[in-house]
Structure 1
Amino acid sequence: MVIDSGSERRALVVEDDEDIRSLIEFTLSTQGFEVSAVESGTAALEAVRTLDPDLITLDLGLPGIDGIETCRRLREITEAYVVMITARNEPIDRLLGLETGADDFIAKPFDAHELKARVNAMFRRPRRPSAAAAAPAPVGASGPGSTHEVLEHGVLRVDVDGRRAFKEDQELALTRTEFDLLTELMRSPARVWSRETLLRSVWGTEWSSDTHLVEVHIGNLRRKLGETKDRKFVRTVRGVGYRMESSDT
């Protein structure tokens, strides 16, 4: 395992196949990442605490702790983008991977150019804020002279610059992707957002076949918002996409 925390952008490759691991390492290094690699989920959990990576690529079929459980545990200790890269390409594998907190899912065999494009798209999205920027913003702090953009919709509040979301003043434990989805929806709450539009605006991708990414992350977001049968925050517009439910609901 190679660890060097001196680079501005760090990536951790979690892959037990040497050839694939080398390919991913090379691909990410050409994108300017300082790349470290491990071969198991246990080693990944240890490395994350040392590295604090910005990006993690994660195989599902790892020895010992598998990729699903590794991802679940990673989400407890890191906000890094997680891309699952795996030969297990059944819909249930994608679903489980995304539900445990992965931001994207690429099937083997994969094209290095596709990996580059997806990673570049993710890093065009807002980065994790500094400790100072993450300080809670007061309600209404989006007015003239404010340094924070704050969105409000009913009992929901999003501090965009601090990247914090609240429901009835209780902070929500959202992943980066869930936060970005909620922010996009709340910026135009009456708008109906198609899955393809959300793919472009949140993931920065044009792969229309990846609309499942939107569907799964919307489902994750709904659960964290505490939706019930009688209380909805995100409404599905059949055949079109999604919009925010009325703030009076």
Structure 2
Amino acid sequence: MNDASILLVDDEQSIVELIKTVLHKEGYTHIDSVRTGEEAIVACQAKIYDLIVLDVMLPGRSGIEVCPFLRETTNAPILFLSARISDFDKLTGFAVGGEDYITKPFNPLELVARIRSQLRRYLGYTGGAEPLKEASKDQWSGRTNLYDYGRFQVNEAAGELRVEGDIVPCPALVFQLLLFLCKNPNRLFTKSELYEYVWGEETLSDDNTVMVHIHRIRERIELEPSRPTLLVNVRGLGYKLVHENPRRIYPT
């Protein structure tokens, strides 16, 4: 994991140097940095990164504005850094494609811990970052552990979501939450249980985190996200992925 490639996007050189210093002490040496959102887009088009630390307040386009463009080329975890601390700002960061949101001033050791946690989940699951691409039918049908829910299919080995035949980009934690639900069809989970199983933490640090990721799944798999029929909420109890006859396809 210490071979992970990390991109820092921040126009405050002192913060960049601080983050580089603590990451170097932890053994992370493959670190690039840029100062603007436009430079970040170019960097991600030219190189594959395993994680991106993205400041919100950047010259020109903000980190919030840039994040969707980054998501066009990478599924790597994106951690927002920001002096904005409101719940609305945090939810906006999650909604546009971020995996985590860290407020300034921050504890450098906490930042490193969160980076390590994201890399462990992402690299442990995918084996490394890959650029988004269309998969051929042969690639899709030849993979193992395909969860078929009719309107959509989840390919565990390829880390891919296909909706009505089309590959749909899916950030790492959104995919992991959907995969977990696919493996447990028609089973009801509380928000705390989902947080523990998917995020690997017993305490729900932010009550909105699971809700935001549920919304992002619905945006991808539901015909009408505002009226979900697949990923439903049982009021006061939790969420479940509904299917009368879900299929798991194994290699022949």
Shorter chain as denominator, the TM-score bin is 0.7 to 0.9
* Cα displacement (A) at 1:50: 2.8
* Cα displacement (A) at 1:207: 4.5
Return the letter of the residue paired with 1:12: L
* Cα displacement (A) at 1:231: 5.0
Query: Counterparts of 1:205-244 in structure 2 under 5 Å?
Result: 205-228=201-224, 232-244=229-241
- Identify the range of structure 1 (28-37 vs 121-130) with the bigger mean alpha-carbon deviation: 121-130
Distance 2:90 2:130 in 1: 32
Query: Counterparts of 1:1-249 in structure 2 under 5 Å?
Result: 8-33=3-28, 34-125=30-121, 126-127=125-126, 128=128, 136-138=139-141, 148-228=144-224, 232-247=229-244
Q: Is the 8 A contact 1:79 1:176 kept in 2?
A: yes
Distance 2:130 2:73 in 1: 17
**Unaligned stretches of 5+ in structure 1?**
1-6, 142-146
> Percent identity at matched positions?
31
Q: Is the 8 A contact 1:199 1:211 kept in 2?
A: no
Q: What SS is found at the alignment partner of 2:206?
A: helix
Distance 2:168 2:47 in 1: 25
* Cα displacement (A) at 1:222: 0.4
Q: Is the 8 A contact 1:136 1:164 kept in 2?
A: no
Q: What SS is found at the alignment partner of 1:193?
A: coil
TM-score, with structure 1 as normaliser = 0.83
How many residue pairs match? The answer is 234
Distance 1:231 1:85 in 2: 32
List structure 1 segments (4+ residues) > 4 angstroms apart after TM superposition: 128-131
* Cα displacement (A) at 1:81: 1.0
Distance 1:62 1:247, change over 3 A: farther
* Cα displacement (A) at 1:51: 2.9
Q: Deviations over 1:161-196 (max 9, x none)?
A: 111122333322222222111101110012222222
Q: Is the 8 A contact 1:121 1:205 kept in 2?
A: no
Cα RMSD after superposing both structures: 2.5
Q: What SS is found at the alignment partner of 1:223?
A: helix
Q: Which has the higher contact order (CA 8 A, sep 6+)?
A: 2
Q: What SS is found at the alignment partner of 1:118?
A: helix
Distance 1:117 1:193 in 2: 27
TM-score, with structure 2 as normaliser = 0.82
